[in-house]
Amino acid sequence: MNAEETISGKEKLWNGILEMAQQMGFAACGCARAVPLSGSLEEQQYMQAHEKGHFGRMEYLRRNIDKRMDPALLLPGAKSVIVFLAPFSGGGPCISSDGLRISEYALGEDYHKVIKDKLFRIASFIEDSIKTKKSCRVFTDSAPVMERAWAVRAGLGFIGKNNFLISPQAGIKNFIGTVITVAELPYADKTVPNGCGQCSRCLDACTGKALYSPYSINASKCMSYKTIEAPLEDADNERTTYDPPVSYSYKWIFGCDDCMNACPWNRFNKPGWKEFSVNCKVLEGFSAKGWMDMAEEDFNEKFGNSPLLRAGLKKIRQNILR
């Protein structure tokens, strides 16, 4: 096969991937060469956060760091990391009648499954095209993959001062999915320059001061960490009764969007997939009393296929009463 045929084959495959991504509703798609991140700025920043204890009790961030920094350890022979942005913007967080807030990303179905189902179809297309089985692996916030770093290298955006990926074309509210493959593809030839400038709105909006300086976050102080990932308090100290009236003008009970919502790049957000907002109206109807009166079985029936399951009903109750 000569060079012209090789390039033509890559471009044909890549065009097919782009077409599928567009048909599936992804806001953007890009590709980076699969190389180790060892010695990179991304690795340095990650290890600094690790050494400072900024991961809180999220032990999974301390495991498999070698795999996190080298895609070939996740898929032997990896040559390409394809990155996809799936929009979830729906106009803001869910707010109940008494001011309880739930992060916008958690208002629908489990995004891991929704996105992976589409990425598996793209992976099958790649494997059929190159006639090589098990030549792809699919990830969505579920394995040791430096998704934001790969998105930057794939030319999809830059990392903002709030540590989120920001896309000039698709804003800030996007899930990131990746396909690592042994197929060679056209790679992004340039990265997007940082667009934060002198803006510090995200830092100003972080009430817990988890964003202690631009591009630096102590996750253990983040409201999202506290309301989702932080361990349950001692059961002996948990309040079990609800004494109305209780009214909150501003209280996160699952996640926190403050730094994200403060970002001017929100004006470029794409409409979120409908799967990511199917529970919005239901959740708006739950007051503090509704959550306190809910049975575990009802919670699992209503939200068993939702990001809310990550925290669980008991944790959400503790968040209301804290």
Cβ–Cβ under 8 Å, residues 10 and 184: yes
Distance CA 120, CA 137 (A): 8
Given 70, 141, 236, 258, the catalytic residue = 141
Residue pointed to by tokens 């968040």: 319
Please state, in angstroms and rounded to a whole number, the distance separating the CA atoms of residues 250 and 204. 16
For residue 141, indicate whether it is catalytic: yes
Count Cβ atoms below 10 Å from residue 61 Cβ, excluding itself: 18
Contacts (Cβ under 8 Å, ≥6 apart) of 40: 149
Find residue 29's DSSP bridge partners: 84
Question: Residue 90 contacts by C-beta under 8 Å, 6 or more apart in sequence?
Answer: 104, 107, 271, 272, 276, 277, 280
Active site residues: 141
